[in-house]
Chains A and B, each alone.
Chain A
Amino acid sequence: MSENYNISSSPHIRSKVTTSNIMLMVIIALLPATAFGVYNFKLSALLVVVITTASAVLTEYIYQKLMHKKVTISDYSAALTGLLLALNLPANAPWWMCILGSVFAILVVKQVFGGLGQNFMNPALGARCFLLISFTGRMTTFVYDGVSGATPLALLKAGESVDVLDMFVGNIAGTIGETSVIAILIGAIFLVVMGVISIRIPVTYILSFTIFVIVFGGHGLDVNYVAAHLCGGGLMLGAWFMATDYVTSPITKSGQIVYGICLGALTGLFRIFGGSAEGVSYAIIFSNLLVPLIEKVTLPKPFGKGGEK
């Protein structure tokens, strides 16, 4: 009797943005930092990146096959997790550690909790912290230019002086993706310009951390000291690429500001008063746990009910 055209509830048009092209854009944004890491740490870094990324994707594929679930590796989220984890590992990490980390990230942190969108903790960082606790020695031994040495952040903590310019460019020891502030910022600017991330979380994170360091760092307004803290360790990589992870950050705008402040304060606390020189990873996964609470207290008032109009 009739033509049987498609019917569905409105709206009948959709934007072009999809989950997979968002993930792909983040991967592209990580390429400058990845490339610099490979340039900096040579072949061993490349191997870590390839093994970690491949095993993350493979873990997701095998798990979903075994569980008879829809395979979702084409959304690039597993690849992104793998790449982020690799950038958080030292270039001399052994192959089995790369695989173990990826399996932990995908299986334990992501899939067991329900897969994409359901994890309460950033999978890459969850895995990094797991490895850090389990294999502290291997995770904190950094080889740079053929010699193993302390990171600038560790030197800073020990009260020694560091070259901030080298830290900004990335000619220092550290994990594969965290050393070059320039490379990270190039990717970050790309993400902001493309509208993938907002500056709310990273900027409040970095600002509140800066204030914390000035107030509690014991060096006051020592520009060199503050700059070294900002360029050192995983702060930039964490602030722009991991604190901004959609799934594990608050969805409310004011919540994102609160979250950024929590991150800044915790990172400062861990770095300055903690036992280790670094604190970004723990600050982020700890703040991840606060997200539901933060969202609850920062629910916006709706239009017409006294809220932002």
Chain B
Amino acid sequence: MALLTFKGGIHPNDGKSLAKDKAIKAILPTGNLVYPLSQHIGAPATPAVAVGDKVLVGQKIAEAGGFVSAPIYASVSGTVKAIEPHFNPTGSKVNCIVIENDGEYKEVEYAPVKPFAELTKEEILGLIGDAGVVGMGGAGFPTKVKLSPKEPDKIDYIIANCAECEPYITADYRRMLENPEELVSGMKVVLSLFDNAKGIFGVEDNKPDAIEKLRELTKDEPRMEVMALKTKYPQGAERQLIYATTGRAINSTMLPADAGCVVDNVETLIAIHNAVIGGRPLTSRIVTVSGDGVNEPGNFKVLLGMNQKEVVEAAGGLKGEPEKVISGGPMMGFAMFTLDTPITKTSSSILCLTKDEVAEHEPSACINCGRCVDACPSRIIPSRLADYAERFNEEAFVKWEGMECVECGSCSFVCPAKRHLKQSIGSMKKIVLANRRKK
């Protein structure tokens, strides 16, 4: 059988061999911890502590700031030093709670865990929301909101995004090898919310051992299936993943739920397991530290709020002076001008590269070669859209379907003229959306 996939996409050098065989290592912070109040999509959380307060591990330090929002928990015990703006990994300055670590890791007394079988759907959703779980693949959409579609009975598929198509990152892969039971348990929890849904684990076929492990674990689960996907970027993009696993295609005006699908990534499902079965809030995540600019690439269990510099130190420190440091993967991650930023709920990776391939070339004239068209998973024409974007031609941009761009960056990757196609299109999308809001 042909492997499941989508049309378009690219095959960048995946760099995964640097960290894929490194077992997850738990590391502890020494410096202050910084918790951005906004590390999810939606309203920023509102502080529930004041400067000078003593806090314990697992204590709620910020409440959800609205329906689409998520609370934040302390990952260490210590004292609240400040509530002040700090740079987050995406380069904006946001209000953060700063906690001085006392190094004792004294935990709060967690509420007793109710057996799963006795929980109602509302209770399960409540636990997930209250634990501060958000989409940990990068988007940071509050999971409770995602799991509360208007018509839960019309959800046919819960898709675990185990593709991990971004080069270098191996955090989800290690999770699948080391904690597959928790992943499957997280899936079980989500399936309990949707009576008609089937659970799908979509894994790229460059992770055969993970596929085998998940198949073994789910062989007696009639509602779950493990699907091997073709290894191709962006296989883990939501729309492409849904298409590959279910054959359903959604566009920019639809949510996955409109096609009867809910997609959660590996780390998120494990956080759901921890929240519902373990009764623990979200205070840590797996982070891959990789790239040719670090001495000992690896996968680390990192407490949220830990300084990224300390995380890199745990990976043997920097090898020389990197040109570029990225939070997330090289295709969609954010370049950081400093490592002095905290690990957040959506930090899947810290990537240190000694060579900045973007800076090597000046963009030149488009030669109309069509490589971007071949690579585009959204089946649009990136080169033309970038032209329209650069001329602020909103009408043509929308007419030529610029809003369908998923900003995967495949076009910029393949462009022989080294044009910043995705950047132009992405900026124009923001302008169009802003103009629509004004109307």
- Chain A residues touching B, majority SS: loop
Contact with B along A67-107 (1 / 0, CB 8 A): 00000100101000000000000000000000000000000
Chain A neighbourhood of B12, CB < 8 A: 13, 15
Is B251 within 8 A of A304, CB to CB?
yes
Chain B: residues with Cβ within 8 Å of the partner, total of 71
Is B379 within 8 A of A11, CB to CB?
no
Is B251 within 8 A of A302, CB to CB?
yes
Is B416 within 8 A of A19, CB to CB?
yes
Partner of B404 from A17, A19, A303 at Cβ < 8 Å: A303
User: Assuming A12-B326, A22-B416, A303-B404, is B337 touching A246 (CB within 8 A)?
Assistant: no
Contact with B along A1-43 (1 / 0, CB 8 A): 1111111111111110111011000000000000000000000
Is B359 within 8 A of A6, CB to CB?
yes
Is A14 within 8 A of B337, CB to CB?
no
Contact with A along B212-252 (1 / 0, CB 8 A): 00000000000000000000000000010001000001111
Residue B254 lies at the interface, judged by CB distance under 8 Å to chain A: yes
CB distance from B386 to the nearest CB of A (A): 12
Partner of B414 from A15, A72, A118, A251 at Cβ < 8 Å: A15
CB distance from A162 to the nearest CB of B (A): 37
Q: How far is A12 from B340 in the complex, measured between Cα atoms in Å?
A: 20
Residue A44 lies at the interface, judged by CB distance under 8 Å to chain B: no
Q: How far is A10 from B333 in the complex, measured between Cα atoms in Å?
A: 6
- Chain B residues touching A, majority SS: loop
Is B337 within 8 A of A304, CB to CB?
no
Chain B neighbourhood of A1, CB < 8 A: 338, 340
Is B337 within 8 A of A251, CB to CB?
no
Partner of B379 from A4, A247, A301 at Cβ < 8 Å: A301
Chain A neighbourhood of B243, CB < 8 A: 303, 309
User: Assuming A117-B367, A308-B7, is B335 touching A12 (CB within 8 A)?
Assistant: yes
Is A5 within 8 A of B330, CB to CB?
no
Chain B neighbourhood of A304, CB < 8 A: 239, 249-252, 254, 378, 404
For chain A residues 90-148, which have a beta carbon within 8 Å of chain B? 115-118
CB distance from A94 to the nearest CB of B (A): 32
For chain A residues 251-278, which have a beta carbon within 8 Å of chain B? 251-253
Interface residues of A (CB under 8 A from B): 1-15, 17-19, 21-22, 72, 75, 77, 115-118, 246-249, 251-253, 299-305, 307-309
16 A–B contact pairs at CB < 8 A? A4-B337, A10-B331, A12-B330, A14-B415, A15-B415, A19-B417, A116-B365, A117-B365, A117-B417, A246-B370, A247-B367, A251-B373, A304-B254, A305-B404, A308-B7, A309-B7
4 tightest A-B CB contacts, nearest first: A304-B251, A11-B409, A2-B338, A9-B423
